[in-house]
Structure 1
Amino acid sequence: MKDKLYQKSGVVIMHLARMFMTKKKGDRIETVSEYEHELGYARGTIQNALSVLKNEGAVTLESRGHVGTYVREIDYKLVWMFTGIDFIMGAMPLPYSKLYEGFATGLYKSVATHSADLNMAYVRGASVRIQMLLKGAYDFVVISRLAAKQAIAEGLEVEIALYFGEKSYLSEHVILFADGTKKQIEDGMTIGLDPKSIDQSYITKALCEGKQVKLLEMPYNQIVHSIQSHKIDAGVWNLDEIKEKELQISYQSIANHTAFVETSEAVILTAKNNKGITNILKEMIQTDIVLDVQRKVVAYDIDPSY
């Protein structure tokens, strides 16, 4: 099929395919004249390009007379093959836990049967990943549902494409203490806070509300060492890493805080102005496959591969 992209009407086919990626069944499409004006190509060239997409089974169109032409059926996988885009770029947290390793492995396995290549970057800090998404560096990012909802509430032009359910991102956050006798945050304590981590920052501030404490900003990966060296008194951390690395450090569960449950769910976030990638991700990434692979990696039934 890609040979057609190098023929005379190939460029127009790519443009139309990218436009169709933003459509869904039942949507009205532009007229040939509108495409002619928008793309700047001759009417016959646009008609030929539309014929290629229809003949290949990528789209089925239905003419409704004077009210226009509508999408009756659309195969996003076939449409994607005509877009000329060779790979999808995503970003997620550094895979320092089995859950993250399993999630990354699941993403790759889920798209393995499709023509598009998946490339993942591993970037610390949900806020950084979101910023890079909005700049167009990534097609999608993996963050927690809480972080996604906060970004949307702040008015950022993003949307949640896929949900993966509770404990797909991490099992839970806990509060670490330098003093093993402590059970909760107390006045006078110094608490580690990573402003680039939406979840860690949100939970930390919630736990410190009404307390006379000092919030000391630092990268997330320095919190454990800072507690062990008594530079800070406490900090919020991912329980998965503590257990997997068998860290000798005192911690208390905060799972009874219902507001924190959303930090355990992984979601895929996309830019609102990139509807095409949202559609193809929903086709290519099957949540049940991702979660099944994740469970197998966590259980050591299969090796991670990402």
Structure 2
Amino acid sequence: MTGLDERFLTRNGLAARQLAVLLLNHEPDTRLPRVRDFAEELGVGNGTVQAALQLLEQADAIETMARGHLGTFLVRSDRSILWRLSGLGTLLAAMPLPYSRRYEGLATGLRRAFEVAGAPFAITFMRGAGARTTALLDGKVDLVVLSRFAADRLIEEHPVELVADLGPATYVGAHGLLMRHGLDVDTAGLRVAVDYASEDQRMLAEKVFAERRDITWVEASYMQLGEVFQHDLADATVWSLDEAQGWLGPDVDVLPLGDEVTRDLALRNSSAAIIGRTDGAKALAAVRDALDIPEIAHCQTEVLKGERSPWY
């Protein structure tokens, strides 16, 4: 260790690491809170805060300037150094398997956005929003990518909060009602395929076929849907058209979802959201403020158009 590294293990150094987390949320050329405000938030003395600021300046993480009665301003900050000193470490995000070009584009955009933000970032791929959420709650991952529809429900039920909503068509392009040719939604005795690992798909399917008592639900993974239809094991399902393109044929019709409520659910299902644990609120704030959301969508669009190679 260098002498500076050792100093970050002292009492003043610990305060500097905590201060680094707070300073991740400050833009250059903005006035910093007063020393006593920082001291109150960190639960330390004013002298400790002043020493912590000096440590961060010596580490070239920040540059500040006193402007008389206007206060002290953050002239410059290096987010990568601040992040390293903060002890937040590499953020691990869980997202769906990259089986569609849209997911590959999303992973590419996220990787790029975190790189620009100066935050070390890695992705692990897990099937099913439920499995990803369990990993988040168990502390195995720091962030989870899922639909805004699923995120809204989880925020109501668990100590998690929204980090970012990436906007329509970032999670899936569109949903449709896939129906065996010659049948329609009112056909009696329909066999409807449902993936119980996907809360989004299950809820949409149940909404489309609400109050139908003659439905037979056929459990099938989204990766098996093509085979289910090819082997005549199901007549209908609600699914992302991104994922269905590879196996749609003349024997399967794509129909609109129907009522306004279902379309609203489908819209929220199409938007990618990032959630994190509420107990990591300061780190989440640092991520939220640093991410360039339009850049994520831009990278994803370039991957979808073939203008950028997937990289994640």
TM-score (structure 2 length as normaliser): 0.79
Q: Matched residues in 1 for 2:21 and 2:255: separation?
A: 44
Matches within 5 A, 1:68-79: 77=79, 78-79=81-82
Matches within 5 A, 1:136-215: 136-153=139-156, 155-177=157-179, 179-184=180-185, 186-212=187-213, 213-215=215-217
**Which region of structure 1 is more displaced relative to structure 2, 53-62 or 10-19?**
53-62
1:258 aligns with 2:258: no
2:165–2:274 Cα contact (<8 Å) kept: yes
Shift of 1:282: 2.2
Partner of 1:21: 21
Partner of 2:29: none
Shift of 1:57: 5.4
1:113-140, Cα deviation, whole Å (9 max, x unpaired)? 4543211011111121111111111111
Supply the AA of the counterpart residue of 1:165: G
1:59–1:71 Cα contact (<8 Å) kept: no
1:119 aligns with 2:148: no
Q: Any idea what SS the aligned residue of 1:273 has? A: helix
Shift of 1:32: 9.7
1:179-201, Cα deviation, whole Å (9 max, x unpaired)? 31123264422222222212101
Matches within 5 A, 1:27-176: 28-31=37-40, 34-35=43-44, 48-53=51-56, 56=60, 58=62, 77=79, 78-153=81-156, 155-176=157-178
1:76–1:279 Cα contact (<8 Å) kept: no
Identity among equivalent pairs (%): 24
Question: Aligned match of 2:233 in 231, 238, 241?
Answer: 231
Q: Structure 2 vs 1, CA of residues 279 and 31 (structure 1 numbering), >3 Å: closer, same or farther?
A: closer
RMSD: 3.2
Partner of 1:8: 7
Q: Structure 2 vs 1, CA of residues 247 and 20 (structure 1 numbering), >3 Å: closer, same or farther?
A: same
Q: Any idea what SS the aligned residue of 2:7 has? A: coil
Supply the AA of the counterpart residue of 1:151: L
Supply the AA of the counterpart residue of 1:200: Q
**Which region of structure 1 is more displaced relative to structure 2, 131-140 or 10-19?**
10-19
Q: Any idea what SS the aligned residue of 1:79 has? A: helix
Q: Any idea what SS the aligned residue of 2:203 has? A: helix
Partner of 1:67: none
Q: Structure 2 vs 1, CA of residues 141 and 33 (structure 1 numbering), >3 Å: closer, same or farther?
A: closer
Q: Structure 2 vs 1, CA of residues 35 and 253 (structure 1 numbering), >3 Å: closer, same or farther?
A: farther
Q: Which runs of 5 or more structure 2 residues have no equivalent in the other structure?
A: 27-32
Shift of 1:214: 2.2
Matches within 5 A, 1:263-282: 263-282=269-288
Partner of 1:40: none
**Which region of structure 1 is more displaced relative to structure 2, 99-108 or 270-279?**
270-279
Q: Structure 2 vs 1, CA of residues 34 and 129 (structure 1 numbering), >3 Å: closer, same or farther?
A: same
Q: Structure 2 vs 1, CA of residues 261 and 185 (structure 1 numbering), >3 Å: closer, same or farther?
A: farther
Question: Aligned match of 2:297 in 291, 294, 302?
Answer: 291
The aligned length equals 289
Q: Structure 2 vs 1, CA of residues 102 and 5 (structure 1 numbering), >3 Å: closer, same or farther?
A: farther
Shift of 1:145: 0.8
Shift of 1:110: 1.8
1:161–1:278 Cα contact (<8 Å) kept: yes
1:22–1:275 Cα contact (<8 Å) kept: no
Supply the AA of the counterpart residue of 2:189: G
1:193–1:201 Cα contact (<8 Å) kept: yes
Supply the AA of the counterpart residue of 2:7: K
Q: Any idea what SS the aligned residue of 1:142 has? A: strand
Q: Matched residues in 2 for 1:300 and 1:196: separation?
A: 31
